[in-house]
Structure 1
Amino acid sequence: MKFLLSISRLIDRLNTLVGKSVIWLTLLVVLVSATNAVIRKVFSESSNAWLELQWYLFGAIFLLAAGYTYLVNEHVRVDVLSQKLSRRTQIKIEIFGIIFFLFPFCVLIFWLSLPFFYQSLVLHEQSSNTGGLIRWPVKLLIPAGFFLLILAGLSQLIKCVGYLLGQCPDPLARKEGKTAEEELADEIIKQSSAGDVLSDSTEHHSSVTQDKGR
C-alpha cells in the first residue's frame, strides 16, 4: 500500500503541475480575445488563426485541467443522497464510480482519440478555414486530457482504498475555507450590494438637487 500511495503522490504532483500551468492559459485567452476584438473593431480586420487559437486555448484549459479539478474535488458531484451516508460508505461509492463509470468512459475516449490524432498528424491536417491553424495539436489535447484524468482516477482509487485500510487521509475532504461556488456567490452578493448602495446614493443626490432647485 505504501508503494501505491507513493505512485498516487507522483500522479498528484503531475496533475498539480499541469493544472497550475494551465491556469495561465486563462490569462492568455483573455489577451488573445481582447486583441482580436480590438483589431476587428478598430481596423475592421480579422484572422481565422486568432479565432481558432482562442478555441485551442479554451480546449486546452478544459481538457488538461480536468485531472487537477478532480484531484482538488472541485468537480460537480451529485451527492444529495450519499452525503447522508457514513464516510466509509461514501468512499465505497466513490470506488464503485471510478471503476465502473470513470475508467470505462475515459479509457474508451482515450483509445478512440488516438487514431483521430494520429491521422491528423500524418496528413498534416490544416483547418478548412482560410488562414486557419494546423489541426493535430488541438486533437492531441483529447488523448492527453483523458490520460491525465485516468491517472487522477487511479490516484483517487488508491487513496480511497488506503483510507478504508486506515493508511491515508480522507480523499473526499475538501480544502478548508469556502468553495469556488461559495466565493462566487459571495462576490455576486457583494457586487449586488455595491450596486444597491450606488443606486441609493444617486437617488438621494438627485432628490437633494431637486429640493435645492425648488
Structure 2
Amino acid sequence: MRGFIRGVDAINHRLGRIVMYGIFVLMGILLWSSVSKTFFLPSLWTLEMAQFVMVGYYILGGPYTVQMSSHVRMDLLYGGWSDRRKAWFDLITVCFLIFYLAVLLYGALISTAYSLGYWKNAPISYLFNVVIGAEEVGRLEQSSSAWRPYMWPIKAVMIAGFFLMLLQCLSEFFKDVLRLRGEPV
C-alpha cells in the first residue's frame, strides 16, 4: 500500500505543480481575445481554446487538490472530530467518490471512442485497438463552432484526469486504512 501511495502521490504532485501554471496560459488566451477584438479582427479560436485550457486546468489539477486536502469542505462538524473519526468518515465518503469517478471514466471512454468515429457496442476495446494500431479510425468528431477543432484531444485529457483522480482517491483510501490501523502514513 505504501508503495502505491508514494507512486501515485509523486505523479499527481508533479503534474499538479505543472498544471497550476495553466492559469497563466488561460490569462494569455483571454488577453489575446480582448486585444484582437479591440484592435484587429476577432479570433475565432480564443473562446473555445480558453474553455479547453480551463477543462485541462480543472481536471488535471483535481488529483493534486485532493492530495493536498485543498478542496472545499464544511468544517462545521468535521473540524472538531478526532483523527480516527475523520479517517472513518473519509474512508466511507471516498468509496462514493471512487464509484462516481469510475462512472465518469467509463463515460469519458465512450465519449472519446465516439469522437474518434466509433459507433458500435464495445468502445473500450475499440480504443485499445486504436492505441495499438489494429483498427482504422473513422470520421473524427469536430466542434460545431466556427473554429471546428477536433474533440478527441480534450476528451483524452478528461480520461487522463479522471484516471489520475481515481488513483489519487485510492491512495487516500489506503491512507485512511493505515490511519485506522494506527500505522504511519
TM-score category of the 2 structures, normalised to the smaller one: 0.7 to 0.9
Does 2:24 correspond to 1:27? yes
Give the SS at the match of 2:174: helix
Higher helix share: 1
Any idea what the Cα deviations from partners look like across 1:131-155, whole Å, max 9, x if unmatched?
Answer: 2321111122222221111111111
- Match among 7, 10, 16 for residue 10 of structure 1: 7
- RMSD value, Cα: 1.3
Contact 2:36 2:43 in 1 (8 A): no
| CA–CA distance in structure 2, aligned partners of residues 36 and 28 of structure 1 | 12
Alpha-carbon distance, 1:91 to partner: 0.5
| CA–CA distance in structure 2, aligned partners of residues 161 and 127 of structure 1 | 44
Contact 2:29 2:50 in 1 (8 A): yes
* 4+ residue runs over 4 A deviation: none
Q: 5+ unaligned residues in a row in structure 1: which ranges?
A: 170-214
Determine the structure 1 residue equivalent to 2:79. Answer: 83
| CA–CA distance in structure 2, aligned partners of residues 79 and 151 of structure 1 | 25
Determine the structure 2 residue equivalent to 1:145. Answer: 161
Q: Which has the larger radius of gyration?
A: 1
Does 2:184 correspond to 1:168? yes
Determine the structure 1 residue equivalent to 2:60. Answer: 64
Does 2:46 correspond to 1:50? yes
Determine the structure 2 residue equivalent to 1:120. Answer: 115
Q: 5+ unaligned residues in a row in structure 2: which ranges?
A: 118-138
Determine the structure 1 residue equivalent to 2:132. Answer: none
Contact 2:12 2:164 in 1 (8 A): yes
Any idea what the Cα deviations from partners look like across 1:98-150, whole Å, max 9, x if unmatched?
Answer: 11x11111111111121101110233111211223211111222222211111
Determine the structure 2 residue equivalent to 1:205. Answer: none
**TM norm structure 1:** 0.73
The amino acid across from 1:93 in the alignment is: F
Contact 1:63 1:145 in 2 (8 A): yes
The amino acid across from 1:105 in the alignment is: Y
Contact 1:52 1:132 in 2 (8 A): no
